A and B are shown apart, each in its own frame.
Chain A
């Protein structure tokens, strides 16, 4: 009964301050739209400069390979200096250069050099572009051999099978990861300020003199935001499936259960921050620094966890989003893989108990 009163008050506060509603509903839509369309690691139509200092048929046919590729937006230059200027101004990501003696050297024994100069600042893109260029180069060698009626001698061919995401859409792995990041934000932001606000405004003292117990106060804070957060989560999943057309190969029940568990962790973390901080300024700072950025960088959402140094890899075990991202990527793309779901769900459960327990034990009906 008392709990209902507290929850009612919290709901009224949510409804009357539009910022809580917008955290739960407007933010997920806004962020998913922005990220879903904005974040992509697939480079298409890479602008590339083709410098032909030689005008043989060979050079022209090699340049044509790039003009016709859907991966490149080839721009032809005659002067190397102009191409370098374009590279420096970031108009092109790389330069392919065939020197003046190319035609001669390709006719004579020994390989004729083709230079590929990349802007290495963005190492990931440079790596991708280099892969594409090598692909085109191999294609060209093959065409050339076929025209001469020969077979290009490649002893071992690679047959690639990319499971779960054969068309290699980066959106398919980024959007499920985004759901985790957005829910981290919803959970932590919603609750990070609620206790601190009561302390700062002095209404906590008023609550302390009433007969409600601390557990009731905490539950009164937690339940309304859990309901709000669940709404936000359903919205995000719906957008991922219908708008971004990410396949959901696992079952919705598993996804929902894992998401609820994660929401509990996020809310518990926000609550703990809120109880410890006592002022909204500190609570806000801590919430941002301990939730969003770690969830973005340390969760395996973009950066591969296995490649991090061991001490950072150890640290990622303390990031709840890590477990949730693993479950999400599997449930969306691979299906209900229990060998992934069970250990990660157990870890989430442990963290939920830890944060909620700590929140309970650190909040006493006492003034300092």
Chain B
């Protein structure tokens, strides 16, 4: 028989251990919120300030038009006008400019004669993702320029046109993708830290042996240790979700029930993994290290910033035991796609399995890992 009274006493003690010290109270509550706001603004793939330089050898009107098309774009910011080839390298190398637009001396002539003209775009590839995005922006500007030139010549234009529509996120704002992801990230960090040190702290201080000789059964210890992490994680997540909705104004298109079912199952798995790490470790340093060794790969391999589909097959298989992977899908489909409860069941059950397995292992380790 489980004794709820005994469990309640243990839960109360656990809460006291975490919240009685003002510093430790602060680190559980403060930083996640600060981080949500900071990262919500910082973590975006959209470029809005691409510094570029122009080396224009042409004196004609077409090259001026092209340069002013770049000047007029809100994305590009001209910081220098160059007058020689050798000026290009230092500007790019020192990261003063990301992109250099180099227009040859016969640009206007060639366009007037109807010959193909070329414009060179030199771009700093040190961050290849930024480089590709900037290059796409530049191509768009040049394509619009081409359309204007063709219209001027009265040409027929292309026989087919491509009409691009993005569902769920029509303006392709990467913040809508990242902010729901941060909800998962911070929930994992907080929950894991609270639980990963809970058993390790008692082991290090020797009080865990005392706990084992009390009438508390391992299952009761497990529930008592799991509850505070679960409740703290739940309330943090609730606050973080509200900030995502009210401050960052990410749309929410599904039901609250669907999202919170996912959240509860995710917390179950995160608490389970945290307790398992904690009961494996003898010192708090080991607990912290264990939490880290789980958390860092869990974040990287969750699809938070880089898609799982881009990973090699073997790594994709590893992600199947990562609870954050499933929660990321749930967050993004409830926020943006308006997914139904049934559609997310394939994401729900793996988290439940991970949670129950790790909890069971943690409970078993309580008695079997003695040192």
Q: A residues near B, CB below 8 A?
A: 17, 19-20, 22-23, 27, 30-31, 34-35, 37-44, 47, 62, 87-88, 106, 109, 111-128, 130-131, 133-134, 137, 141, 144, 153-166, 168-170, 172-173, 185, 189, 193, 197, 277-282, 284-290, 292-293, 296-298, 300, 302-304, 306-309, 311-312, 315-316, 326, 329-330, 333-334, 337, 339-340
Mask for B229-258, Cβ within 8 A of A = 1, else 0? 000000000000000000000000000000
CB-defined contacts of A144 to chain B, threshold 8 Å: 159
Within B162-188, which residues are at the interface with A (CB < 8 Å)? 162-170, 172-174, 176-177, 185
B residues in contact (CB < 8 Å) with A: 18, 21, 23-24, 27-28, 31-32, 35, 38-39, 41-51, 66, 90, 92-95, 98, 111, 116-133, 135-136, 138-139, 142, 145-146, 149-150, 155-170, 172-174, 176-177, 185, 189, 193, 197, 201, 283-289, 291-293, 295-297, 299-301, 305-307, 309-312, 314-315, 332-333, 336-337, 343
Q: Which of chain B's residues have a CB closer than 8 A to the CB of A164?
A: 124-126
In the complex, which residues of chain B have a beta carbon less than 8 angstroms from the beta carbon of A109? 156
- Once the chains are docked, how many angstroms separate the CA of A334 from the CA of B94? 10
Tell me the bound Cα distance from A20 to B311 in angstroms.
Answer: 30
Check B166 against A126 for contact (C-beta < 8 Å).
yes
Contacts beyond the supplied A19-B283, A121-B168, A197-B285: 13 A-B pairs with Cβ under 8 Å = A38-B300, A43-B310, A87-B167, A111-B160, A113-B163, A123-B173, A156-B142, A162-B123, A166-B125, A280-B284, A284-B193, A288-B292, A308-B41
Tell me, rounded to whole Å, the shortest Cβ–Cβ distance linking A89 to chain B: 8
Q: Closest residue of chain A to B281, judged by CB?
A: A19
Q: CA of A164 to CA of B335 in the docked complex: distance in angstroms?
A: 39
A252 to B145, CA, bound (A): 45
Q: How far is the CA of A285 from the CA of B333 in the complex (A)?
A: 30
| Complex: A39 Cα to B309 Cα, angstroms | 10
Chain B min CB distance to A158 (Å): 6
Q: A141-B159, A165-B128, A288-B292 are in contact. Are A155 and B111 (CB under 8 A)?
A: yes
Q: List 30 A-B contacts (CB under 8 A).
A: A31-B297, A37-B315, A38-B306, A41-B306, A41-B310, A44-B310, A112-B159, A112-B161, A114-B160, A118-B165, A119-B166, A121-B333, A122-B332, A123-B45, A123-B177, A127-B45, A131-B139, A155-B149, A156-B111, A158-B119, A158-B139, A163-B92, A166-B125, A172-B128, A193-B288, A297-B39, A303-B42, A306-B49, A307-B47, A307-B49
Contact B197 A300 (CB under 8 A): no
**A164 to B129, alpha carbons, bound, how many Å?**
13
Bound-state CA distance A316–B45 (Å) is 16
Q: Cβ of B41: which chain A residues have Cβ within 8 Å of it? A: 308-309, 311-312
A141, closest chain B residue (CB): B158
B51 CB to closest chain A CB (Å) equals 7
Given A153-B150, A165-B131, A293-B189, do A40 and B139 touch, yes or no (CB 8 Å)?
no
B293 surroundings in chain A (CB, below 8 A):
27, 30
